[in-house]
Structure 1
Amino acid sequence: MSTRLRTFRLTTTTCNTTTLKEKQLKEIQAPTTNLYLPVLYLVVFCVGLPSNLLALWVLVFKTKPLPSIALLINLTVVDCLLLLILPFRIVYHIRGNHWELGEPFCRIVMAMFYGNMYGSVWCLAFVALDRYVALVHPFRARTLRSQRLSLYLTVAVWVVVLVAMVPLLLSQQTYLLHELNIITCHDALPEEEHETYFLPYFTTLFASCFLLPFTIVVFCHIAVLRTLLAEGKRYVHAIVVTVLVLFVFIVCLLPSNILLLVTYTDSWADGDGEDAYVPYMISLAVSTFNSCIDPFIFYFVSKEFRQRTKSALCCHDYCKEKSTSNRDGLSSSGPKSQVTLLSVSSRK
């Protein structure tokens, strides 16, 4: 994805100078971008970072090292990396979209922003695929859900992150706007240098890192719900997980991806892509809310995660009694206690 304003020909390339239309100059320092966006990002940071750090602590130190847990840990790490660069975006917008930390750090921040966002999308798809195998094909789950496959999926996630980051790391992101005396970070990119490069790149990224994982998620969740319904099992948690995941894709991520293509397609075709700038900026901020929702997906996906989280948040003596009774209950359940985390949740 790219936050992009149409620019005219560079007037002084040695000074990294670019010229914007009057409408665009107003939009780039309007209250929408300088006030509302920092507030949205601040809410995401304050809610998302503590909840993801708690989830990471529970997953790493309080749960069994099962192959499926690696997927949840990866998703949490990706979300944390995205959240950690939000303060730089907050300060940037508060200061009127003026970047003071230099070109290299602007490239790193924007590369981490988009790379981890798309990495999070594929993590959600792999979690959905893991639940699908565990519940729809339980007899094949032992062979399919292995440590080796977990390692392959982990590598795949980080390959996606790196591939999404490379074009932003290799291209200039900061430009001086003489009219406003500010240096933008990724908000004003030269038309002639980027329309033939970023349009096909982000179109490919949209298809491979949004549409494809979204298709996998929808298929897997529908199959899981149908299986639970056919077997006459309770599926309240499965419904909640499905609703949360679809909310992430449809409400958080879909608008920003659509407006991304609208911005680049219009700008390439007739030069009107700048009209989508403010709506896209808002949708981009909304897309980061998926990092706040992911820990709640863990909560409903895994019964053990729920128990461990409650144990971490409640008083020690009470939780010790609860954990003892839970261990007694699980030990009396025989072989069923060996079911992996992601499959237990949907059977309760």
Structure 2
Amino acid sequence: MENATWSANVTSVCKLQADFQYSLFTIIYSAVFVLGLLENGAALYLLTYNVLKTPRSSTFLVNLAVVDILFACILPFKIHYHFNHNNWVFGDAACRVSGCMYFLNIYLSIAFFTCICVDRYVAVLYPFAYIRIRSPHYRTVAVVLWVVALSVAGPLVLGGPLHSTENKATLCFENFGTSSWTGRMVPYNVCALVFGFAIPFAIILVSYPLIANRIAHIPRSAHKRKALVTIYLILLICVTCFLPYHLTHLLHFLMRAGVIQDCAFAAFIYKMRRVTLALVSFNCCLNPVLYYFTLAAQKWRWPICFRKRKTLVYTICGGGQGGEYTAELREITALRQGQSK
């Protein structure tokens, strides 16, 4: 009861304020909106236009680009909200959709990062098993991840109130009551921290050093640098964007639940949460760099051709999906040659 009372009065007693957040969110979200929409729009166009020429594992990259574009589309609402000192004027439905899309971007991005990690792990350590994996398997995994994410977000969108009123301003996804933090928000926070971040991050953290170690022993491989850069980029995005956010989110959850009762520490957590909320959105701008390095070996073909004449070369393959595996077979062959040495 003491924890609940302290948590209910935490804002007034400890003066949890971060006035810098209004300009911080406005500037960061504006930059992410412009860069993220342009970068991911171009990446999605290239990935889908060259779908027959890109590796089958690019399915995860396509879905990652879609998630980032959807996230960028809700940012103008967030920019208006923070520019007007956290006053939401777009109604309850828009608040629910934009808030849930914000968290879907975080956890679907981590999920697709994990899928890319597992894909590279199998390709490097079990190349012959990797060859037997078909494109429908990738699409099935992507659909399952979307269904699970939307199923989790559904009750949150359709549940109780997600906005509140404070100082004549309408807040969206902020300052939930004590009953929410110790009740309906508990399963969401636990699932997000454990299944949404801790387990995927552990898979990435354990698998990628193993992959890097195996690749490092391959001499003069054309795919060695690309694979290593892909590994380091995903680790960089996770450590820079997602790890700080989840650490402060855990502390913020403990503070709101009344476990952390030191006012100075609570004020620090409140400010750091604002910083990490802005920082996590940068994954939308960093992901297109990952697309470039992952598919750097591909020769992109634009629909606009400035040459007067164009020569078409057709290749007849023995199997219906022969062209689909060309890039991956080259990579696996290089990896096997390095392992045999």
Q: Which amino acid aligns with 2:281?
A: T
- Aligned partners of 1:314, 1:41: CA distance in 2, in Å? 32
> Retained in 1: the 8 A contact 2:16–2:270?
no
Query: Quick one: which of 226, 229, 233 aligns to 1:237?
Result: 226
Q: Is 1:86 equivalent to 2:86 in the alignment?
A: no
Q: Please name the residue that 1:276 is paired with.
A: 269
Q: Please name the residue that 1:286 is paired with.
A: 279
Query: Quick one: which of 144, 160, 173 aligns to 1:186?
Result: 173
Q: 1:158: how far off?
A: 0.3
Query: Quick one: which of 153, 156, 162 aligns to 2:141?
Result: 153
Query: With structure 2 as the length reference, what TM-score do the two structures score?
Result: 0.82
Query: With structure 1 as the length reference, what TM-score do the two structures score?
Result: 0.80
Q: Is 1:21 equivalent to 2:12 in the alignment?
A: yes
- Aligned partners of 1:287, 1:343: CA distance in 2, in Å? 35
Q: Please name the residue that 1:34 is paired with.
A: 22
- Aligned partners of 1:154, 1:162: CA distance in 2, in Å? 12
List per-residue Cα deviations over 1:295-314 (Å, max 9, x = no partner). Answer: 11111112344x31xx5499
Q: Is 1:301 equivalent to 2:290 in the alignment?
A: no
> Retained in 2: the 8 A contact 1:175–1:188?
yes
- Aligned partners of 2:144, 2:275: CA distance in 1, in Å? 30
Query: The residue matched to 1:67 in structure 2 has which SS?
Result: coil
- Pairwise mapping of residues 171-250 of structure 1 onto structure 2 (< 5 A)? 171-177=160-166, 180-234=167-221, 235-250=224-239
Q: How many residue pairs get matched?
A: 316
Q: 1:156: how far off?
A: 2.5
> Retained in 2: the 8 A contact 1:164–1:205?
no
Q: Which amino acid aligns with 1:205?
A: A
> Retained in 1: the 8 A contact 2:252–2:270?
yes
> Retained in 2: the 8 A contact 1:37–1:93?
yes
- Aligned partners of 1:340, 1:118: CA distance in 2, in Å? 32
Q: Which amino acid aligns with 1:280?
A: R
Q: 1:92: how far off?
A: 0.3
- Aligned partners of 1:123, 1:55: CA distance in 2, in Å? 16
Q: 1:247 to 1:151 in 2, by over 3 A?
A: same
Gaps of 5+ in 1: 1-5, 10-18
List per-residue Cα deviations over 1:192-251 (Å, max 9, x = no partner). Answer: 233233234212211111121112223332232222223324322222212211111111
Q: 1:345: how far off?
A: 6.6
- Aligned partners of 2:260, 2:38: CA distance in 1, in Å? 45
Gaps of 5+ in 2: 1-5, 317-321, 336-341
The alignment's C-alpha RMSD in Å is 3.1
Q: 1:191 to 1:149 in 2, by over 3 A?
A: same
- Aligned partners of 1:233, 1:174: CA distance in 2, in Å? 57
Q: 1:255 to 1:313 in 2, by over 3 A?
A: farther
- Aligned partners of 1:131, 1:316: CA distance in 2, in Å? 37
- Aligned partners of 2:326, 2:145: CA distance in 1, in Å? 22
Larger proportion of helix: 1
